[in-house]
Amino acid sequence: MKIIKDNNLTVNLHKVKAHLAIVHNDQADTLAKAGLTSNHLIKFNRHHLPTNIHIIWDQHHDNITIDHNIRHIAQNISNRQKFYAWLDYKTNTALKIASYDQIINWPLTEKFFNFNPDDRPTSHKLTKFRAWQRKAINNLLPTMDIMSLQYPKLFQDATKCWSCNLHPEMNTSLWLCSINLEVL
Buried residues in 171-184 as b, exposed as e (16+ CB within 10 A): bebbeebeebeeee
Sorted by sequence, the CB contacts under 8 Å of residue 39 that are 6+ apart come out as none
Q: H or E element: which one contains 107? A: helix 106-114
pLDDT band with cut points at 50, 70 and 90 for residue 47: low
- More reliable by pLDDT, 93 or 38: 93
Residue 127 has what pLDDT? 93
List the domain boundaries for the chain.
Answer: 141-183
Give the pLDDT mean for 140-169: 83
Dihedral angle of Cα 184, 98, 172, 133, to the nearest 10 degrees: -50
CB 141 within 8 Å of CB 171: yes
Spatial separation of the C-alpha atoms in residues 39 and 55, rounded to whole Å: 25
- More reliable by pLDDT, 61 or 91: 91
Give the pLDDT mean for 30-48: 68
CB-neighbour burial class of residue 146 (10 A; exposed 0-12, middle 13-18, buried 19+) = middle
Q: Is the pLDDT of residue 26 over 70?
A: yes
Give the pLDDT mean for 144-149: 85
Give the pLDDT mean for 145-155: 85
69-126 per-position pLDDT tens digit? 667 777 777 888 888 888 888 878 888 888 888 888 888 988 988 899 888 888 899 9
Residue 54, phi-psi category: left (phi > 0), alpha (psi -120 to 50), beta (remainder): beta
| Candidate ranges 13-17, 30-34, 78-82; pick with highest mean pLDDT | 78-82
- More reliable by pLDDT, 97 or 18: 97
Least confident of 1-10, 58-67, 95-104: 58-67
pLDDT band with cut points at 50, 70 and 90 for residue 130: very high
Mean pLDDT value across the chain: 78
Spatial separation of the C-alpha atoms in residues 52 and 2, rounded to whole Å: 12
- Percentage of the chain with pLDDT > 90? 6
Q: Is the pLDDT of residue 64 over 90?
A: no
Residue 131 has what pLDDT? 93
